């Protein structure tokens, strides 16, 4: 095996796979990436057995072949080489991989390519989703995924594809983020549901990238999800388990309506939360005509009171929330103002951005008792 590739092209692809590489794996081969060359192309594959990324770049191939190499070491070498340089790679008979670039030379031990896990064959593309849309949906829901590994079916977000709608939902049992978009979804004639693990969502965002979001092709089989953008492909195991009936969580009878400035409310919550009890992690929001009073207290530390102007008319209502849950939503809602729908102190609150997007974004938070 012998090929030459530009440093910048290779670095872009190695950047993409770093999140999949097992840092402390008990299976050594999972710390390696698989390199395969064909006529004028270098294929790169990385996997942790749950998520697999296959990507690649153009190369001048003198001799086709396959090898595996330490992903971390190769990344560090390529990253430190001069920008715009060429890298020549060859595999010796003793399975050492030799890298040459300018006056730099490295010899790296390869592991047998036969030990590298087999990658599931991609299922035919079921549908296409605009990359920019899915990236925004992930940004607005992923923070609500549970941190508790034991709650297996909540360790990801639920993707729902309907003939005229795309939805993404995440919950940790205390809050729920739901974003949807009415649009024609090609290839879908019923309801398709897929529970996507948190790590996969992170890698999908990298796959889509920030510039000129492409169309993402989506497919699935019984156990795997397949996402592809141009020459890059991501394969993920589907999370097992039953996702909660999220429709039942969304309040339908909240009759108290508040409009608040996103930045002002966030600043007020941050100021009050400084004095919140570290175990309770709650602040009280007292809504009155034209204002909300934010209070928090801790027996060992003291108390805080702040006030923020809001648009509200009606009888006063006090309700407690985890301040971090509110700040998470305010950080990603992408609107200058939000609406808050409430009923009483024991009913979940419904938060929505106002006039900032063509997507329907709903965020439900369970109240806390003081």
Q: Do residues 1 and 66 make contact, with C-beta atoms less than 8 angstroms apart?
A: yes
Q: Lowest mean pLDDT of 18-27, 56-65, 102-111, name the range.
A: 18-27
Residue 153 binned pLDDT confidence (cut-offs 50, 70, 90): confident
Q: Do residues 213 and 130 make contact, with C-beta atoms less than 8 angstroms apart?
A: yes
Average model confidence (pLDDT) across the chain:
93
The alpha carbon dihedral of 3, 46, 116, 28 has a sign of positive
Percent of the chain having pLDDT more than 90? 81
Q: What is the pLDDT of residues 75-100, one digit of tens each?
A: 999 999 999 999 999 999 888 999 99
Measured distance CA(56)–CA(304) in Å, rounded: 55
pLDDT reported for residue 149: 75
Q: Do residues 99 and 77 make contact, with C-beta atoms less than 8 angstroms apart?
A: yes
Measured distance CA(76)–CA(241) in Å, rounded: 39
Q: Which residues of 261-293 are buried (b: 16+ CB within 10 A; e: fewer)?
A: bbeebbebbebbbebbeeeeebbbbebbeeebb
Residue 368 has what DSSP assignment?
B
Taking residues 128-138, what's their average pLDDT? 93
Q: What is the CA radius of gyration of the chain?
A: 25
Q: What is the pLDDT of residues 213-229, one digit of tens each?
A: 788 999 998 899 999 99
Measured distance CA(133)–CA(348) in Å, rounded: 28
pLDDT reported for residue 23: 77
Q: What is the pLDDT of residues 212-271, one digit of tens each?
A: 778 899 999 889 999 999 889 999 999 988 899 999 999 999 999 999 999 999 999 999
What is the secondary structure of 103-120 as a DSSP string? TEEEEEEPPPGGGSPPPP
pLDDT reported for residue 257: 96
Partner residues linked to 259 by β-bridges: 311, 339
More confident residue, 165 or 152: 165
Taking residues 119-138, what's their average pLDDT? 90
Three-class secondary structure assignment of 2-55: EEEEEHHHHHHHHHHHCCCCCCCCCCHHHHEEEEEEECCEEEEEEECCCEEEEE
Q: Do the strands 41-47 and 51-58 form a parallel or antiparallel pair, or are they unpaired? A: antiparallel
User: What number of other Cβ atoms are within 10 A of residue 177's Cβ?
Assistant: 27
pLDDT reported for residue 121: 85
pLDDT reported for residue 211: 67
What backbone torsions phi and psi does residue 329 show, to the nearest 5 degrees? -70, -45
Partner residues linked to 129 by β-bridges: 216
pLDDT reported for residue 120: 87
The alpha carbon dihedral of 343, 345, 347, 351 has a sign of positive
The SS3 call for residue 92 is coil
The SS3 call for residue 72 is helix
Measured distance CA(312)–CA(256) in Å, rounded: 8
More confident residue, 278 or 211: 278
pLDDT at 30 over 70: yes
């Amino acid at each position: 095996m012998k090929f030459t590739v530009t440093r910048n092209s290779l670095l872009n692809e190695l950047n993409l796979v770093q999140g999949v590489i097992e840092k402390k794996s008990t299976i050594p081969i999972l710390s390696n990436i698989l390199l395969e060359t064909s006529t004028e192309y270098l294929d790169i594959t990385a996997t942790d057995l749950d998520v697999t990324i296959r990507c690649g770049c153009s190369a001048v191939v003198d001799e086709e072949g396959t090898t595996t190499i330490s992903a971390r070491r190769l990344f560090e070498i390529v990253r430190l080489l001069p920008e715009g340089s060429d890298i020549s790679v060859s595999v010796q008979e003793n399975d050492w991989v030799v890298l040459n670039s300018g006056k730099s030379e490295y010899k790296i031990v390869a592991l047998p390519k036969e030990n590298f896990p087999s990658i599931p064959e991609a299922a035919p593309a079921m549908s296409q989703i605009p990359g920019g849309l899915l990236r925004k949906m992930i940004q607005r829901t992923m923070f609500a995924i549970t941190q508790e590994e034991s709650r297996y079916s909540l360790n990801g977000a639920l993707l729902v594809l309907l003939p005229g709608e795309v939805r993404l939902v995440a919950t940790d049992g205390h809050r729920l983020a739901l974003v949807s978009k009415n649009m024609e979804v090609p290839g879908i004639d019923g309801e398709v549901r897929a529970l996507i693990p948190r790590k996969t969502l992170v890698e999908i965002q990298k796959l889509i990238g920030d510039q000129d979001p492409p169309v993402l092709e989506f497919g699935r089989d019984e156990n795997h999800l397949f996402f592809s953008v141009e020459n890059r492909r991501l394969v993920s195991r589907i999370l097992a388990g039953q996702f909660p009936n999220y429709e039942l969580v969304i309040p339908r009878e909240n009759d108290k309506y508040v409009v608040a400035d996103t930045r002002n409310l966030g600043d007020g919550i941050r100021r009050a939360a400084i004095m919140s009890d570290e175990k309770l992690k709650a602040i009280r929001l007292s809504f009155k005509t034209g204002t909300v009073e934010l209070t928090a207290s801790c027996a060992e530390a003291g108390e805080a009171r702040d006030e923020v102007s809001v648009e509200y008319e009606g009888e006063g209502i006090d309700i407690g929330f985890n301040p971090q849950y509110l700040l998470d939503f305010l950080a990603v809602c992408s609107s200058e103002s939000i609406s808050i729908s409430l009923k009483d102190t024991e009913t979940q609150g419904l938060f929505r951005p106002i006039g900032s997007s063509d997507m329907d974004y709903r965020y439900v938070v369970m109240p806390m008792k003081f």
